[in-house]
A and B are shown apart, each in its own frame.
Chain A
Amino acid sequence: MSMIGWDVPPPENGGEEDPGLRGRLLFFRIVIVGMLVVFLGRVLWLQQTQSAAFEVLAADNQLATLTIDPPRGEIFDRNGAPIAVNMPSFDVTITPAFLPDDPEERQRVFQRLSVMTGVPVTNTVQQRALVQQADQALVSVYSRLSQLYGAPVDETLDNAGVVPQLPDSISEIYETYSFAQYLPAVITTGVPITLAYRIEQESAYLPGVRVLPQPVRRYPSGEYTSHIIGFMGPLPDEGWLDLGYERDDRVGWSGLEVSMEEEMAGLKGERQIEVDWTGRELRQIGDTEEAVAGLNLHLTLDLELQREAYEIVYRQLEEIRNTPRRDYYTGETILPEIESAAVVAIEVNTGQILAMVNVPTFDNNRFSEEVPVDYYLGLARNDYEPLLNHAIAGQYPPGSTFKLVTAAGALQEGVISPNRFLDAPGRIVIPNRFAPNDPGRSQEFVCWIYQTAEGSHGAMNMLLALANSCDIYFYKIAGGFNQNDEVVQGLGIDRLYNYALQFGFGRTQGIELPIEAPGNMPTSNWKAINYGEPWSTGDDYNAAIGQGYVTSTPLQVAQMGAIIANGGFLYRPSVVHHMTDENGNLVVRNGDGRLILVLRDQDGDLSYQDRQGNPVPANEITIPIQFDQDGNYIFQPEVLNAVEVDRQWLDIIAEGMHMVNAEDGTGSGYVDWLDEFGISSAGKTGTAEYCDNIAIEREWCGFDDIEQRRILPTHAWYVGYAPYENPEIAVAAFVFNGDEGSAASAPIVREIMAAYFNVDSYAPQSEETDQPSTGEEVVPAQPTEPPAEVPTTDE
């Protein structure tokens, strides 16, 4: 029986099978039959006991999960005035799953909806007509191209400007969203409440059509605060869906709306409901998971001051716009183009921003529902970039205001004694390092006063140099000087860099707003890397007066003023004073990143909860929290660093700044400061020469040497603080193409200070007295730093 000899013979007992095997087979038989009986029992149970319950669910009603959107946090200024609030608005939607299945019935619903809302049922006919009217050659080229690259044809034609794309029709929206059967697709937004009621009344005849109330963001202070608050828009990309957002949610796109999105958005809730065939809610299943409202922001901003600051800037721009100016390049007298300015007012002892002005501005209310294309394009194509918050994101050379840093570094490092007088002629010449005897290759550095009748400053010490904004003095202490027995060992760029960084230049300072620019603070190494050239004495000279490679934002300049005023502390600049929940309780962001609700009882004792309402032990709170006697939260300033400059040196600089605003100082040429009201002040002017794309387009930049100078547009700076003895507020103002800081920016600062201290409005001096241009310095730009982006003109 075996084919192979060694095959194992069967068991001896005459082919009788393994007795255990039968038992095990029986076991399996029982298991299998047992399982089948269990299944039968399950079917019986489903059919007999569950049938009624399921039938209701299956035949008549549908389950739907609704998310509950939390109200978004609102924004108030420091006095509680509303800046961003939520208003109701009504969206008409269709839910594909609840529309009639029968195409004709569905069409009837669409037609009724179209009559009521004005949205066309379909616009393929009109669209086709438009295509036929258009240039057929272009249409075929673009259609072919879009097919090649897999882009939607209609959109491509629209973008190319060949055939405008009509707004979505109801049928298109229905087809686009039919994949998400249970999500309402928006047909039109912002319908009047009367129409909303009419549609709800007819809802029995319009299955699947719903009106959903949708909160819309309103900004009562509009264009006064639009750069700080920003605006909201649809989800920028799919990635937001992973963060728990839904397709039709709106999120912050700029300003605080985006940087504080997480805080203001709140937490979504959820509930399951049963709906009938028209999509109306019948009953709820299970518990509601309540939404958690977004946090309200209370800003450091003083809306009243902010408003006045805007008015002041507008007035001032209007005035200098109408003051004829002699064009250095052409020699003509023209009215200057003045369109852009930025102002930052900051509390010197806390870093709280009181006002932040950007001109030109925009109205963020216009973005609250959808983006109006023409308005947006107008803003986006404006050279002066109205959508950008120039106060923190605009980067300009700080000009002479930067001399404060140079002075602090030189005094602290012992480069110069404050009482030592240096000779300050109108111009100095430094020989070429490699050809000291060739006068043709030496470099000339001039002071702004060289162009005026006086021609020179004479002998200057630190206080006088600051008060008169003497360029030569700062050239010498920054870059060194060794002629005519006068020896000054310069501070040098790398030591200057160290101090500039402490003053907040060349880095972002962590304000709560997005896209804060760092500006630029060069080092010798930086130039070697970026330009492949060694750092020269001329570069030191330029850096000393905030020209050349140095750029800064208005915020950084304001912060510099605040540091001098408060005795050497760089505070983190802040626009958010504190946050509260919907009940007005304080909410803080703890050191570990958690949002903590702070509850304060009658006795002033504090207890803590996290966002879900779980108590948090006090020892986990890592940030200071203080309340005053009235139970108001006290802002907790954060020191980023203290500048490593002795108090005595800072006092000297402050005194110099005080002299700027005094009689004969550069700051007093056009401005009467607030001394008549008992408020003394200190400040520093600046006039930055700088050529950028705006200036090049308008041919403001002349690179031919006229009287040994290149002509570049000059931008006006002023930074000041008050009161001098006990400083409260620092203000920096920048006017693009404003020419002299003393004339264009100082009046703005003065007016804002007057508004802050609530003194009578300043009546500008009449311009009858034809004042010669003595008030301000114009900084010579040096041939050692050719702006790489500027083409050389052949004319």
Chain B
Amino acid sequence: MAGERAPQELLLLAVALAFVAVNAVALSLALDGALAIGHFWAPVFWTALMGASHWLLNRYQADRDPLLLPIYALLTGWGLLLVDRLAPNFLARQTLWMVLATGAMLLVAILPRNLRILRRYRYTWLTVGLLLLVATLIFGVNPSGAGAALWLRAPLVSGVYFQPSELMKLLLIVFLASYFDEQVQLDALRTRRDGRTRVAFLTPLLLMWGFCIVLLVWQRDLGAATLFFLTFLALLYLATGEWRYLMGGLFLLIVAGIIGYFTFGVVELRVEAWWNPWPEATDRAFQIVQSLYAIASGGVLGQGIGQGSPVFIPVVHSDFAFAAIAEEWGLIGSMAVLACFALLAYRGLRTAALCRRPFHSYLAAGITILLCAQAFLIIGGVVKILPLTGVTLPFVSYGGSSLFMSGIMIGLLLYISARRAVEL
């Protein structure tokens, strides 16, 4: 069985390479009118890294899911093109992060003998996560000077910031997977269904809700709060199969949203700009209106890379990457991005279903759901189906912490998919 699907993966990687290469050429021609080296070094790095990844994974994790790496490759490659196109001064930084993320992915996918360390020390991970949250509340800064203080300054290295909430996403999934793993087993041993079952699942539900509220109140981090809570709800439902938890949780989410609407200016602003952006098209709803213009002008085939005007959208390179894709690659490009996430969901959840150990199932499902939910939130916001929440489009958007943690998550998925038959 070993490596029997490697050719598939290689084929898909070649497709991604072709896409990136063609677009790099097009970008260079569109912007500079000639082939300029400045537009090619990042794709070259990327090609080398993906090649190495393929080779290393073939060697050490031959049984892995063959679609995960191509999805990761295509989206990160696309992301590099976008950063080059939209915010070229960030290209070097983003490339560096891409290298680090891919390295971390490979380490996570290849090195561990098992994942017991994640499962056994769940409360340590939870504590680390909470400490990070507290540290952000106290020491948090915003590198751009103003706005929500969600970053921690890296010690020793100047100019490097890290967003702890990105790490917390993973820690949270690990903790929850481990916790539910244990609780479900305990539940199976119980002879009598009594209130303790409820308590075991309801207590974290409420704690989690409170935790997200804290995030919202103190940090105004609308995106992270929503994302954490959605992921948690999905895992809770997955573990218990209780519809009522899911419904109750969604109800709590709506309640929090309503409270936020009446309490925080930022929530009110986002909701109003979502409901009807036109009265303030030149003012507070400028971003979303420009995003709609950009998407609408895309057409089926798009304007072509470097030929639209997505830079009218403020912070297009992080939050509004999807709008830029829709403008310059059109419906085809949008479909490709959406298909990538659909495939990721399909393969990730398939991996989860095939796992023998519930912990692995929960972990794989949690990661998949988190990545997809994050994509939903931002794509939904950009096309004005949901209110805007400031999260990145996984793999594609500019943002080091996000890319790095996404890399680790893909690494875990690769690992689990390769070892799904193993008990621990």
A interface residues, Cβ below 8 angstroms from B: 1, 3, 8, 10-11, 15, 17-18, 20-22, 24-26, 28-29, 32-33, 35-40, 42-44, 46-47, 50-51, 53-55, 57-59, 62-65, 181-182, 272
Cβ-neighbour of A8 out of B189, B293, B299, B342 (below 8 A): B189
In the complex, residue of chain B having the shortest beta-carbon distance to the beta carbon of A181? B282
- Given A28-B369, A38-B385, A51-B299, verify A46-B292 contact (CB < 8 Å): yes
- B300 and A15 contact, CB distance less than 8 A: no
- Given A8-B182, A62-B282, verify A32-B342 contact (CB < 8 Å): yes
- Given A28-B234, A28-B238, A38-B385, verify A17-B358 contact (CB < 8 Å): yes
Return chain A residues, CB-CB under 8 Å to B369. 28, 32
- Given A36-B342, A54-B292, verify A182-B282 contact (CB < 8 Å): yes
Give B289-309 as 1s and 0s: 1 = Cβ < 8 Å from A's Cβ atoms.
010110111111000000000
Cβ-neighbour of A272 out of B279, B331, B350 (below 8 A): B279
Cβ-neighbour of A51 out of B237, B279, B296, B352 (below 8 A): B296
In the complex, residue of chain B having the shortest beta-carbon distance to the beta carbon of A63? B281
In the complex, residue of chain B having the shortest beta-carbon distance to the beta carbon of A39? B379
- B361 and A21 contact, CB distance less than 8 A: yes
Cβ-neighbour of B345 out of A29, A47, A57 (below 8 A): A29
- B365 and A47 contact, CB distance less than 8 A: no
A181 CA to B286 CA in the complex, in Å? 13
Is B284's beta carbon under 8 Å from chain A?
no
- B238 and A54 contact, CB distance less than 8 A: no
Return chain B residues, CB-CB under 8 Å to A43. 295, 298, 326, 331, 334, 383
- Given A28-B234, A40-B338, verify A22-B353 contact (CB < 8 Å): yes
Give B151-194 as 1s and 0s: 1 = Cβ < 8 Å from A's Cβ atoms.
00000000000000000000000000000001011101100000
- B356 and A32 contact, CB distance less than 8 A: no
CB distance from A284 to the nearest CB of B (A): 14
Return chain B residues, CB-CB under 8 Å to A24. 237-238, 241
- B385 and A42 contact, CB distance less than 8 A: yes
- A17 and B331 contact, CB distance less than 8 A: no
- A39 and B383 contact, CB distance less than 8 A: yes
A53 CA to B278 CA in the complex, in Å? 13
- A47 and B331 contact, CB distance less than 8 A: yes
CB distance from B389 to the nearest CB of A (A): 15
A18 CA to B361 CA in the complex, in Å? 10
Q: Is the interface of A mostly helix, strand, loop or mixed?
A: helix
- Given A36-B338, A40-B334, verify A46-B282 contact (CB < 8 Å): no
A1 CA to B292 CA in the complex, in Å? 56
- A47 and B330 contact, CB distance less than 8 A: yes
CB distance from A40 to the nearest CB of B (A): 5
In the complex, residue of chain A having the shortest beta-carbon distance to the beta carbon of B335? A40
- B349 and A36 contact, CB distance less than 8 A: no
- Can you list 9 A-B pairs with a CB-CB distance of less than 8 A? A1-B423, A1-B424, A10-B356, A15-B356, A20-B241, A25-B350, A26-B353, A40-B334, A42-B384
Return chain B residues, CB-CB under 8 Å to A46. 292, 295-296, 326, 383
A694 CA to B298 CA in the complex, in Å? 78
- A8 and B185 contact, CB distance less than 8 A: yes
Cβ-neighbour of B341 out of A25, A36, A181 (below 8 A): A36
A321 CA to B292 CA in the complex, in Å? 78
| 7 A-B pairs closest in CB distance | A58-B293, A54-B296, A32-B345, A8-B185, A51-B296, A15-B356, A42-B383
CB distance from A55 to the nearest CB of B (A): 6
- Given A33-B342, A54-B292, A54-B293, verify A21-B385 contact (CB < 8 Å): no
Return chain A residues, CB-CB under 8 Å to B237. 24
Return chain A residues, CB-CB under 8 Å to B326. 43, 46-47
Give B330-346 as 1s and 0s: 1 = Cβ < 8 Å from A's Cβ atoms.
11001100110110011
B335, B339, B342, B369: residue with the most chain A Cβ atoms closer than 10 Å: B342
A63 CA to B292 CA in the complex, in Å? 15
The tally of residues in B whose CB lies under 8 Å from a CB in A reads 56
Is B380's beta carbon under 8 Å from chain A?
yes
Return chain B residues, CB-CB under 8 Å to A1. 423-424
- B352 and A25 contact, CB distance less than 8 A: yes
- Given A15-B423, A28-B238, A58-B297, verify A39-B345 contact (CB < 8 Å): no
A39 CA to B393 CA in the complex, in Å? 14
Is B357's beta carbon under 8 Å from chain A?
yes
Return chain B residues, CB-CB under 8 Å to A26. 349, 353
A135 CA to B384 CA in the complex, in Å? 62
CB distance from A346 to the nearest CB of B (A): 51
A311 CA to B376 CA in the complex, in Å? 81
CB distance from A620 to the nearest CB of B (A): 31
Return chain B residues, CB-CB under 8 Å to A32. 341-342, 345, 349, 369, 372, 376
Return chain B residues, CB-CB under 8 Å to A18. 184, 358
Cβ-neighbour of B385 out of A15, A39, A57 (below 8 A): A39
- A47 and B295 contact, CB distance less than 8 A: yes
CB distance from B377 to the nearest CB of A (A): 10
A35 CA to B116 CA in the complex, in Å? 34
Return chain A residues, CB-CB under 8 Å to B186. 8
Return chain A residues, CB-CB under 8 Å to B383. 39, 42-43, 46
Return chain A residues, CB-CB under 8 Å to B331. 43-44, 47
Return chain A residues, CB-CB under 8 Å to B330. 47
A18 CA to B349 CA in the complex, in Å? 15
Is B27's beta carbon under 8 Å from chain A?
no
Within 8 A of A (CB), among B208-238: 234, 237-238
- B238 and A21 contact, CB distance less than 8 A: yes
A22 CA to B354 CA in the complex, in Å? 9
Within 8 A of A (CB), among B345-396: 345-346, 349-350, 352-353, 355-358, 361, 365, 369, 372, 376, 379-380, 383-385
In the complex, residue of chain B having the shortest beta-carbon distance to the beta carbon of A270? B279
CB distance from B53 to the nearest CB of A (A): 25
Return chain B residues, CB-CB under 8 Å to A42. 383-385
A28 CA to B341 CA in the complex, in Å? 13
A182 CA to B282 CA in the complex, in Å? 8
- A33 and B423 contact, CB distance less than 8 A: no
- A33 and B346 contact, CB distance less than 8 A: yes
- A47 and B296 contact, CB distance less than 8 A: yes
A21, A26, A39, A40: residue with the most chain B Cβ atoms closer than 10 Å: A39
Return chain A residues, CB-CB under 8 Å to B334. 39-40, 43
A61 CA to B258 CA in the complex, in Å? 36
A54 CA to B238 CA in the complex, in Å? 42
CB distance from B130 to the nearest CB of A (A): 25
CB distance from A631 to the nearest CB of B (A): 43
- A28 and B365 contact, CB distance less than 8 A: yes
Return chain A residues, CB-CB under 8 Å to B365. 25, 28
In the complex, residue of chain B having the shortest beta-carbon distance to the beta carbon of A35? B376
Return chain A residues, CB-CB under 8 Å to B188. 11
In the complex, residue of chain A having the shortest beta-carbon distance to the beta carbon of B330? A47
- A47 and B379 contact, CB distance less than 8 A: no
CB distance from B79 to the nearest CB of A (A): 18
Known contacts A8-B186, A24-B238, A46-B292; 18 further A-B pairs (Cβ under 8 A):
A15-B423, A17-B356, A24-B237, A25-B350, A28-B369, A32-B349, A32-B369, A33-B342, A38-B385, A39-B383, A42-B383, A46-B326, A51-B296, A51-B297, A51-B299, A54-B297, A58-B293, A272-B279
A17 CA to B299 CA in the complex, in Å? 46
CB distance from A26 to the nearest CB of B (A): 8
Return chain B residues, CB-CB under 8 Å to A22. 353
- Given A24-B238, A43-B326, A43-B334, verify A17-B355 contact (CB < 8 Å): yes
Return chain B residues, CB-CB under 8 Å to A65. 279, 282
CB distance from B405 to the nearest CB of A (A): 20
CB distance from B210 to the nearest CB of A (A): 25
In the complex, residue of chain B having the shortest beta-carbon distance to the beta carbon of A54? B296
In the complex, residue of chain B having the shortest beta-carbon distance to the beta carbon of A11? B188
Return chain B residues, CB-CB under 8 Å to A53. 296
A181 CA to B283 CA in the complex, in Å? 10
Return chain A residues, CB-CB under 8 Å to B116. 3
Return chain A residues, CB-CB under 8 Å to B339. 36
A753 CA to B115 CA in the complex, in Å? 106
A3, A26, A35, A59: residue with the most chain B Cβ atoms closer than 10 Å: A35
